[in-house]
Amino acid sequence: MPLDGGGTKVGRNVDFVGARVVDPSLALDGIRTVVVRNGTIAALLDRAPAASDTSARRIDCAGMVLCPGFIDPHVHLREPGDSHKETLATGLTAAAAGGFTAVAAMPNTRPPIDDGQRVRQLLRDSAAVAAVRCYPIGAVTVAREGRALAPLRSMAAAGAVAFSDDGACTTSLKVLFHAALLAADLPMPFLSHCEDPSFAGAVIHEGETSDRLGLPGSPSLSEAAIAARDILVAQTTGKAWHLCHVSAETTIGVLEWARAQGTRVTAEVTPHHLQCNDEMLSSFDARCRVNPPLRSVQDVAAMRVAVRRGTISIFASDHAPHSEEEKEAPLSHASPGFSGLEVAVAATFDALDGLPLATMVANYSTNVAALLGVPGGSLQVGSPADMTALYLDRPWTVDPTLFVSKGRATPFAGRRFKVRPAMTVVGGCVVFNAAAPTQALPAPAGR
């Protein structure tokens, strides 16, 4: 792993004192002091060390929940090619502000991340502008065109953590099957965007609302059919598989069937598919256009149940920023996708009120680290000191004009949420602090 470049880390000796530490990997939920030395977790203490015991910096975390750093497995950072939508610097700083210590970046940039050199480039460029860790996802096919296999092995060797043609499914079953066979011995999972390409151009979920509005829709079947197809590829090849942004109740049925078969498949859900439904498009508001589309009230309820049952065990923002003009176009021309990083955590907690805190943290951290095979997901002694601190009850109102991200379109504008990121810590460095949000820009030094 190119993380930290193996270099020495100095000045990262901090005692995080008095937080409620919640770490599902350690089955821990209690008041602790997290002792960080050289950017690494050195100890979890029941009581704060006496001031005389230590020359380290002390940060008072009373009132905060402190967890292993949240990792977003699905973001679009738009560089290279679309820096008017987002840059690595704005996207990764938005991640820090949203409580994320690491993100995995989808390859649908221009040009796409589809060879080893571009994977290395993304690792270099992201480390130069931000402290939040950025893990490249390589394309499955050259230019994500679904025709020729991309060089998966050289991308894996360069540091790709997964493979995906996200933005669309890998159109050719034959190519996807061969890719999975070829990569069967690599640990990196395949991540599927499940939408049948024959429904491309749909602007809304196909159902009562699309019928009433007379708009071309993409039905749940479009998602479930490709989910089933890709799960069959996983079964046939033994490849580790993951379904992106699951949105339809029908797909949950397919997932449960796959689990019963013993297939290695995980799934993620976004905050918007846990919260928003197709009726939001009744006023033809293009800002609510996203792929897969916001579905029915019943689907939203099914997503929540799927998380409670553990069928879905990973949260992802699918942060997909676009410019103001691109989102304010007529529905049929508007770009699909939302700016997600800075509201994801609050909106997810709000949707799943009452879910055990340990499960919330696992779905945002431990399970994501396991999926991608990246460091983190645990505060075990010796782990990198990547931590997310939250306030569980600090009500705030979503104001997209205050986003660090260049993307300002969100279905959550004006919503009031209780949970709020308090602090984001990467390798022992505080890279975001709600008490001093203007200092969100992290120092890349030492990485």
| Number of Cβ atoms within 10 Å of the Cβ of 280 | 17
Q: Which of 101, 16, 9 is nearest to 57 (CA)?
A: 16
Out of ligand NCD, Zn ion, none, which partner does residue 108 contact, by CB within 5 to 8 A per kind? Answer: ligand NCD
Tell me if 350 contacts Zn ion by CB under 5 A: no
- Alpha-carbon span 146 to 168, nearest angstrom: 9
Q: What is the bridge-based pairing of β-strands 420-426 and 162-163?
A: unpaired
Quick one: which of 170, 251, 291, 339 contacts ligand NCD (CB under 6 A)? 291
Tell me if 273 contacts Zn ion by CB under 5 A: no
Which is the catalytic residue, given 115, 196, 299, 318? 318
Please, where are the H alpha helices in 98-151?
116-129
Q: Mark 244-277 as b/e (b = at least 16 C-beta within 10 Å).
A: bbbbbbbbbebbeebbeeebebbbbbbbbbbbbb
318 is catalytic: yes
Least distance CB 112 / Zn ion (angstroms): 13
Stretch that binds Zn ion, among 88-96, 276-284, 312-320, 390-398 (CB under 5 A): 312-320
Nearer to ligand NCD, 141 or 383 (CB): 141
Least distance CB 227 / Zn ion (angstroms): 12
Stretch that binds Zn ion, among 161-169, 198-206, 263-271, 381-389 (CB under 5 A): 161-169
Site size toward Zn ion, by CB under 5 A: 3
Tell me if 223 contacts ligand NCD by CB under 6 A: no
Tell me if 278 contacts Zn ion by CB under 5 A: no
Tell me if 223 contacts Zn ion by CB under 5 A: no
Reported as half-sphere exposure (CB side, CA atoms, 13 A), residue 21 has a value of 25
Tell me if 407 contacts ligand NCD by CB under 6 A: no
Nearer to ligand NCD, 73 or 167 (CB): 167
Quick one: which of 318, 342, 350, 386 contacts Zn ion (CB under 5 A)? 318
Q: Which amino acid is at 99?
A: G
Stretch that binds Zn ion, among 39-47, 187-195, 384-392, 410-418 (CB under 5 A): 187-195
Quick one: which of 25, 87, 101, 108 contacts ligand NCD (CB under 6 A)? 108
Tell me if 196 contacts Zn ion by CB under 5 A: no
| Number of Cβ atoms within 10 Å of the Cβ of 394 | 16
Tell me if 79 contacts Zn ion by CB under 5 A: no
Quick one: which of 76, 120, 272, 295 contacts ligand NCD (CB under 6 A)? 76
Query: Residue 421: is the preceding peptide bond cis (ω within 30°)?
Result: no
Out of Zn ion, ligand NCD, none, which partner does residue 290 contact, by CB within 5 to 8 A per kind? Answer: ligand NCD
Least distance CB 101 / Zn ion (angstroms): 20
Least distance CB 318 / ligand NCD (angstroms): 5
Query: Residue 336: is the preceding peptide bond cis (ω within 30°)?
Result: no
Least distance CB 182 / ligand NCD (angstroms): 24
Contacts with ligand NCD, residue ranges (CB under 6 A): 76, 108, 166-167, 193, 290-291, 318, 320, 336-337
Contacts with Zn ion, residue ranges (CB under 5 A): 166, 193, 318
Q: Which residues are the active-site residues?
A: 318
